Structure 1
Amino acid sequence: MNDLASTAATGRAPGGPAVRAALRRAAPALAAYAAIRLVGLVVLAVWSSADGKNWHTLLTARWDALWYTRVAEQGYGYTVQLANGDVHSNLAFFPLLPWLERGLSAISPLSAPDAGLVVAWSASLLAAWALYATGERLHGPRAGVALAALWAALPVGIVQSMAYSESLFTALAAWGVYCVLTERWVWAGVLASLAGLTRPVGAAVVAAVWITAAVAVRNDRAGGLGLRAILRGRHRGMLPGVLLAPLGWLGYFLWVGARQGGLTGYLDVQGGWGNGFDGGLAFGAFLWHLLSGPGFAGGLGLIAGVALVIWLYVRGARQGQPLPLLVYGGLVLLLALTAKGYFGSKPRLMMPAYPLLLPLAVGLARWRPVRSWLVVGLVTVGSAAYGAFWLNGSGPP
């Protein structure tokens, strides 16, 4: 039995020996993940130097990283009004990462930007561990290693090494979903709440907890158990977990609403950035603009990319991917594709949807090791080159 899952029936966190044993099993995945990300950082440093830029600045002091640092150092309330009348408020950025930046910089010599980098690098390793644990539980150790490696080698994988919130969110979300898989409901609720303090898409983790819990209760009731017996028996931690799960996301949403003077306050803040959800209408218009103009080839590539991620989701469902992964991965994908504004950010927004990579990881695990690692190596080189080119160019808005 998986050591991390061995205490599922009690709802308690595994003890020290179990964690150490799980960490030993995950060591190859963590080593592979660290090596792939190190390649990306080395290529970035060399490329940046040749381009007259500083790789450290690119990772810590541009784009969203600047906004997180400003929240950490000055708190909320900073806004920028653009020439077209749009208002960019730092209330758009959820608070957990800047809280950690502020706390770490307060107890160490690190500046807030460097603290953000430490948080991101540490969280990315925790995320890789969670991905390994998930792959191992469902398809064996080799699939777990492959899943962590593929996530590291995503084309936009360099974001995992930036002072951004994606690594922190993925770590919390992946462990939260793993706790749902292993029926540690209280831990799942706590982690879902923390994920909800990290990014708006934390709602996907809440949904994974709630929907899985609802289906489990329905199935047990169909088997003749009463609700009281269900919640006091195998699922006795379920109710606290379900109640805890939305607190982070809902709490920040309501706090921004109170600060802005209305329940839709956070949506209004996002609207000032040109963000929001319109069912994919703006994305469709953007795609049509590409296809009907000189960006035709780019439009075809975009269609192919969207088709690929949808195919991966369907493939995972056909392979019997568990409900928590399907709910979480599907909602992350849906929210990314139906959001308007900053279309270049969509690959970054989909990065936490690690369940999409499970079918590829399963396929790699079935190959001979030499062949599978050759593929991972080639993908790593491509990811490193693209990441360096991207950050030295337009970068991740």
Structure 2
Amino acid sequence: MAFAFQLAAPYITAMLTCAVLGFAQLVIIDMWGARRGAELRDLLMKWDAAWLTGIADHGYLRVPGRDPFESVAFFPGYPTLVRMVAAPFEVFGVDDATLLAAMIVSMTSSILLACGLARLAIDVAQRLNAYPLGTAFQIAVAVAVTVIAFGAPMSIMYWMPYSEALFTALTVWALVALLRRRYVIAGMLVLFAGLTRLTAIALVVVLCVSALVELWRYGRAHGTFMPIRFPGAALAAPVVGSTGLVAYLAWASYHTRSEGGYFAVQDHGWGSAFDWSSSTWEWLRHNTISSSGDANTVGYLITSWSMILVAGLCLATLRPLLRGRLPWQVWLPGVTAAAIVLGSGGTMHARPRLLLFATLLMLVPMVVLAIARLGRRTDWRLAVGVAALTATLALWCCLGFWVSGHMLIDFEFGI
């Protein structure tokens, strides 16, 4: 019994931390919105949430009051799951069945994400240590990375009818499988991630690199006395993983062929074509510094500095990566996703939300490194380090909740 509790303790604490932060954030958003005359339901249903629930209700190309072709910009994984969960509620005549189902899917995905982050962080920490990790250390790591995720700026998206929580949960568990070299499982999870968001391109890239690495290892060991099997699973993983993404893009492009296909619709509706960062540079030139304090200008500043800080984070993580302190399997998808977002045009106000995925993947290993360094202290510096880390995480949550509230309530434009 005690051993089972020790094994489950990191995941239990991660789930509790996730639930507490989610509840706190929703309460804050509710109170903040009430002061502005907005109801929580209306806030949760803003922008892309209306698109995703509309697709769940009516299907693609039939969302009322919308350009029918623009609906294909949203991948089917999340609305399909919402449709499946909503079906029993609709049978029994439950009001707002689709919204209720969407919240269930997002909250369940958030809990699975918290557990996945705990497992990923423990696996990363274990790679840094030759000895088994203690239960207290595992719990500390699980809580810290959960706070990083659910206290982050724009983490309110995990609790809205958005696909962020589902996609990130699939990603994190795929990375856990990848670190353990379970390539078939990783490929299957990436397949479902590819049905959820276009950002799964970054995961397919990682699977391809992993296959090349395994093939290189096989080539080096082949013909020696070292027994090694041909890496068939690693080579199959990117093929399996890309299936969902390719299948949906083919379907969407076929049904929008009169408009030029999926990417043409994306560019026409949101201007999100890849432009080698010209849109990003143009935005930063005009919106990085401002003396105005109105709500929209503050939103522009949040957008600009989120891009700058994420680019800086990509550079800051290079040194620990090259020293072998960060697993490249976790670093690469984060940097690739950041490059895709920063290298494309589109709705600039959505950048803080779109960069949350990349930020999380790069910060989690860095937090593990910080806690591992603290774990080697035994004197007064341990107490000081723990206090500093706790204060940093608390400030991170304050910043994250404020940014989420401002962009969702006070900011005028879509995110």
Fold similarity call, TM over 0.5: yes
Any conservation in 2 of the 1:87–1:272 contact (CA below 8 Å)? Answer: no
Corresponding letter in the other structure for 1:175:
W
Is the 8 Å Cα contact of residues 13 and 142 (structure 2) preserved in structure 1?
no
User: Contact 2:10–2:142 (CA<8 Å) still a contact in 1?
Assistant: no
Q: Alpha carbons of 1:361 and 1:44: their partners in 2 closer, same or farther (altered >3 Å)? A: farther
SS in 1 for 2:173: helix
Q: Tell me the equivalent position of 1:374.
A: 391
User: Does 1:77 pair with 2:94?
Assistant: no
Q: Is the 8 A contact 1:196 1:246 kept in 2?
A: yes
**Equivalent position SS for 2:410:** coil
Residue 309 of structure 1: aligned partner: 313
The corresponding residue for 2:178 is 180
Q: Identify unmatched segments of 5+ residues in structure 1.
A: 1-17
AA aligned opposite 1:172: L
Q: State the partner residue of 2:131.
A: none
Amino acid at match of 1:344: H
Secondary structure of 2:349's match? helix
2:265 to 269, 281, 287: 269
Q: Partner residue of 2:202?
A: 204
Retained in 1: the 8 A contact 2:207–2:238? Answer: yes
Is the aligned partner of 1:98 residue 2:79? yes
Contact 2:60/2:68, CA 8 A, preserved across alignment: no
Residues 312 and 356 in structure 1, CA contact (< 8 A), matched pair in contact too:
no
| Alpha-carbon distance in structure 1 between the residues aligned to 2:265 and 2:159 | 27
Residue of structure 2 equivalent to 1:258: 254
CA gap 1:396/1:157 in 2 versus in 1, 3 angstroms = farther
Match of 1:56 in 2: 41
Percent of matched pairs sharing the same residue:
24
Residue 345 (structure 2) aligned to one of 337, 340, 343: 340
SS at match of 1:237: helix
**Which sits farther off after the overlay, 291-300 or 264-273?**
291-300
CA root-mean-square deviation: 3.0
Task: Quote the Cα distance in structure 2 between the aligned partners of 1:192 and 1:305.
Answer: 27
Taking structure 1 as reference, are residues 21 and 255 closer, same or farther at Cα in structure 2, changes over 3 Å only? farther
Whole-angstrom CA distance in 2 between matches of 1:118 and 1:143: 27
User: Aligned to 2:241, which of 224, 231, 245?
Assistant: 245
**TM-superposed deviation, 1:80:** 9.0
Distance apart, 1:272 and its partner CA = 1.6
CA distance in 2 between counterparts of 1:52 and 1:291 reads 30
Give CA-to-partner distance per residue, 1:254-275, whole Å, 9 cap, x none.
1111112289611011012211
1:119 paired residue among 105, 109, 130: 105
Amino acid aligned to 2:328: L
1:352 paired with 2:357, answer yes
AA partner of residue 33 (structure 1): C
Q: Is the 8 A contact 1:177 1:209 kept in 2?
A: no
Consecutive unaligned residues of structure 2, counting only runs of 5 or more, are: 127-137, 375-381
Q: 1:124–1:171: 8 Å Cα contact kept in structure 2?
A: yes
Aligned mates of 1:376, 1:302 — CA distance in 2: 18
Alignment partner of 1:392 is 2:390 = no
Instruction: Give 1:21 deviation, angstroms.
Output: 7.0
Q: Which residue number in structure 2 is paired with residue 8 of structure 1? A: none
2:9 is aligned with 1:31: no
TM-score (norm 2): 0.81
- CA, structure 1 residues 294+79, in 2 after alignment: closer, same or farther (shift >3 Å)? farther
Cα shift at 1:137 = 1.0
Query: 2:153 is matched with which residue?
Result: 155
2:124 aligns with one of 128, 138, 156: 138
Q: Is the contact between residue 277 and residue 335 of structure 1 (CA under 8 Å) also seen in structure 2?
A: yes
Q: Which residue of 2 aligns with 1:5?
A: none
Normalising by structure 1, report the TM-score: 0.84
Q: 1:134 to 1:42 in 2, by over 3 A?
A: same
